[in-house]
Structure 1
């Protein structure tokens, strides 16, 4: 029996992007059983776009918080599989949902999402053993911008509401630790969003997760990062990461070392 599929879309004033997102959902070869929108404070008619597309909407009236909004929305969906989709992310392959659902035929798969890039560092079926060998990278294992999860996996481990962001990264790591698999698929997608630079914020969380799970971080290291930062300052080249990029990661590493030392000394 084919598992049921629901779509969860968080939105706020997304009338400019939602029509395309919903159009691409309706173009899928596999239609979802239900679409649920979580309105986090829209004033531009976004909610009506969801209902006009055949979906339903619930309101989130508290301050926005990634994990809390997700957990709240997921309590209103009872389908076996749930695609968590941002209100600015389109699935550009007509069979994207079909491909994602097929991945769950393996009972060990907890989640699947589209690949952000062609970086071959991780396999397309990541396991805990692979993470132990390769460590944590400053990149995506699973993304709540366009990721499908198994409801039972979420029921056992909800998204961590102590985290302000990267709740998807933390959740995926925990699923791997429990013996599950995170799949990645080479799907085409559109991502129409701009935001502030989160290099430091994300690097800080990666170092935090690595320490929590006793994993190493797969990066250049402090010495080589400093060398690359100086090189980018003296001889900048097109396509080369900026000095600020390396500085933000070094700052996150230094803060991690300082907090670890402070904790050890009891200060």
Structure 2
């Protein structure tokens, strides 16, 4: 008798789990090993599961994803074939499991998907779709054609899963990605029309918005080159789709209460698609409008702020505060707040300024008596740096053109101080950057680093509204406080201290614009932002860190 593992995911499935488990355990001609993966259900689900001879695995709800739950169950499975079954998917007969795994006897087949029929109480629209999607003839699956591979009722060769686990980062469609990758390797997937389950949802509009939001987010990840759902296409689907649903109701002479639901259903589906494809988060109740309204005023606020920030350096030239377009912060003199790392330079002999930009920090380090090498990839910025260092007659500072994404053109263990301000977030491979910094540092040398904070209040608002939330469009990564410290530790550095920078506020670009007009006013505004960051470190724009090289 063939042994087959059955993985069932649950969350508050007390209404269905008993019938599903009973039907699975009554399967004939196979020996089912049942594994239930629960996401901290708050109803009687786990109590009911405990009454059956099955294995129960509980995973935290806050870290749930469909892929993570499946991987937990597959890891616990011991049979060569593993099936995935939704908790409310009821097997049609006692031969469902045998029929589902039978195609896996072919060594070229990695996965099988069974047939899904609607429950008797299914709404007429989902019933119509399921009956159309799942035919009566078995065959091989083709990407982009129905039926598609679905983990609601599927079987997978465990050896194939070990090579290709399910993606735990996707909110939905982990089964679609897995199927595409296996087919891309020349493996076969099969539709088994005789492996039948009853599986359907009578979802509320809020539940529909959440489901199609997740599917749309997954679509953006799986098919980034496909056109995004356009507003006009969604409006057409709402109009034409509702008319089609009404025609179905009229043809089948169904009760009138389905007529208004048909429009609400289509509206919820298309709202979820619109929000998901744009990254607009739904509220806890599944509503779209709160973040849609927030998006309407945050977008112009961010756009105007970006214009103000870009204009500030040029206004510095127009107001004759400096002959070159510099950020106003570089004109405030040697402020303790701006040159926060001054105490760490004491005792140093040679410093490397990675991403030196216009040379302000290279200039300051040279004034402290260190021999400084500044490197940057931008020739225009290096031109400003050479102008600044020549203006100040700094003979202890040298700037060179070099790409921090590549191997540094420098010998090992040359510098006892490395400055990397506003750099790591622009680098494609931060691990390589930190490895190069560590290579050129002497034993016990210091790394002085800044990194942007990804979790400020304003960035969370931008993220919820589906807007770019990085502080700069050129940023490739931003960090949490714990995240940047972990990255440094893994790269061979020990963090000695860290502190916030200034408070994150959408008014910051306007402060810069005012600073180009009045440096005295700008100094007061900068001090205000600094005090706010010290009072609320979680809302700081970023982190200042001092880290020591560990080991040789």
User: What TM-score results when the alignment is normalised by the length of structure 1?
Assistant: 0.74
Kept after mapping to 1: 8 A contact 2:3/2:32 = yes
What are the equivalent positions in structure 2 for 1:103-122 lying under 5 Å apart? 103-116=103-116, 117=130, 118-119=132-133
- Count of equivalent residues: 246
The answer to whether the Cα contact below 8 Å between 1:228 and 1:246 also exists between their aligned partners in 2 is: no
Mapped pair 1:199 → 2:212: yes
For 1:207 and 1:123, locate their aligned partners in 2 and report how far apart those are by CA, in whole Å.
30
Residue 10 of structure 2 corresponds to 11
SS at match of 1:159: coil
Distance 2:59 2:160 in 1: 23
Alignment partner of 2:173 out of 139, 144, 166: 166
- Corresponding residue for residue 140 of structure 2: 125
Select the residue among 248, 257, 264 that pairs with 1:239: 248
**Counterpart-to-counterpart distance in 2, 1:120 and 1:90:** 16
Change (3 A) 1:33 1:20: closer
Instruction: Name the structure 2 match of 1:190.
Output: 198
For residues 26 and 33 of structure 1, the distance between their equivalents in structure 2, rounded to whole angstroms, comes to 7
Moved more, 241-250 or 9-18: 241-250
Report the Cα offset of residue 188 of structure 1.
Answer: 3.0
* 1:91/1:206 CA distance change after superposition, 3 Å: same
CA contact (8 A) 1:36 1:56 kept: yes
Residue 95 of structure 1 and its aligned partner are, at CA, apart by 0.8
In structure 1, stretches of 5+ residues that fail to align are 260-264
State the structure with bigger RCO (CA 8 A, min sep 6), 1 or 2: 1
Query: Residues 205 and 252 (structure 1 numbering): CA distance in 2 closer, same or farther, change over 3 Å?
Result: farther
Q: 2:83 matched to which residue of 1?
A: 83
1:39 counterpart residue number: 38
Superposed displacement of residue 70, structure 1: 1.4
Report if aligned partners of 2:183, 2:189 keep a CA contact under 8 Å in 1: yes
**Cα RMSD between the aligned structures?**
3.7
8 Å CA contact 1:37, 1:47 repeated in 2: no
Specify the SS of the correspondent of 1:160: coil
Which whole-Å CA distance do the structure 2 matches of 1:235 and 1:99 have between them?
A: 36
Bigger radius of gyration, 1 or 2? Answer: 2
Q: 1:15 to 1:30 in 2, by over 3 A?
A: farther
Alignment of 1:48-87 (within 5 A): 48-63=47-62, 64-87=64-87
In 1, Cα distance between equivalents of 2:248 and 2:30: 40
Structure 2 gap ranges (5+): 117-129, 250-261, 280-465, 467-472, 476-552
Partner Cα distance (1:21, 1:168) in 2: 21
Find the residue that maps to 1:161 and give its secondary structure: coil
2:30 aligned counterpart, secondary structure: coil
